[in-house]
Structure 1
């Protein structure tokens, strides 16, 4: 019975994705700079003359999990940092199958067996390879019994990275 419920939920998710593909995705207005104005006020209070960046989000996943997250950084600290230290995290996202796996995991498929049900994921060995890459880069962690999840502090940054890549 549980397998049937899982399959029905999966079909409902796929139908919703197909229906969503038929209409343009809604976008937040770009002319209202409420977040930017708040950041500018914070930077002025800090005396940060070179500026800074802020990314934030509130997310409800198809599984019902909810996340609120924000991160800000001063431009000076970012420009002085060793950017090569971020290469592994970006490289892990640089494979289409890994991105599909992350999307499926955020959507509720959490075990390698559930992920293998997707024809796009490859063989079980390939899935485990990609899961290890994502785990090593911090985009995933295991929660026991072979279940994987995106750590709460990585959900919004993952969506920010995807949003930035789409421009």
Structure 2
């Protein structure tokens, strides 16, 4: 793309941003605005050849807590990394009871006692085992005696992993 075309595209985007009563793109509609933004960023840093991955989210949990998060990484960096380093984190998510516990914690059940009262999650000892696995992998942290929460910086990544794993 030549300089004139790039300037014209930037002017088009600026006009769209400044338009009154502009509505944000709706999920599933319109162009790939996040993808286009990523490609523009990659072009700016001169890394368009290898590409990159971006994930982002703005979520409101049933508890009323809100999280906004984004992360991008160059493909080259991903391909050079030791993927085995992610095994523990992914393995912690690989058990149905752990996924249930995470969902319940995000939904507002934060204490071990509240979690132990749930059906089909096992004994108290089993629950603590699962909570330790999730805490060790960074998906949970304790906020006090017997209280757990998903760290704010892990909420959107957790939802991204779950989204990516859907059939």
* 2:162 corresponds to: 162
* 1:29 corresponds to: 28
User: So what's the TM-score if we normalise by structure 2?
Assistant: 0.82
CA distance in 2, matches of 1:145, 1:96: 25
* 2:43 corresponds to: 44
CA distance in 2, matches of 1:60, 1:120: 27
CA distance in 2, matches of 1:96, 1:138: 17
CA distance in 1, matches of 2:64, 2:134: 23
User: So what's the TM-score if we normalise by structure 1?
Assistant: 0.82
Looking at CA atoms only, which structure, 1 or 2, has the larger radius of gyration? 2
Cα deviation digits, residues 98-150 of structure 1 (max 9, x gap): 00000000000001110011112111111000000000000000001210000
Unaligned runs of 5+ in 2: 1-25
Runs of 4+ with >3 A deviation = none
Name the one with the larger helix percent: 1
Q: SS of the counterpart of 1:121?
A: coil
* 1:105 corresponds to: 105
CA distance in 2, matches of 1:131, 1:98: 7
* 2:67 corresponds to: 67
Unaligned runs of 5+ in 1: 1-26
Alignment of 1:83-102 (within 5 A): 83-102=83-102
* 1:139 corresponds to: 139
Q: SS of the counterpart of 1:71?
A: strand
* 1:6 corresponds to: none
Shift of 1:28: 2.7
Cα deviation digits, residues 4-60 of structure 1 (max 9, x gap): xxxxxxxxxxxxxxxxxxxxxxx9316620000000000000111200000000011
Aligned length: 141
Output the aligned Cα RMSD. 1.2
Q: SS of the counterpart of 1:135?
A: helix
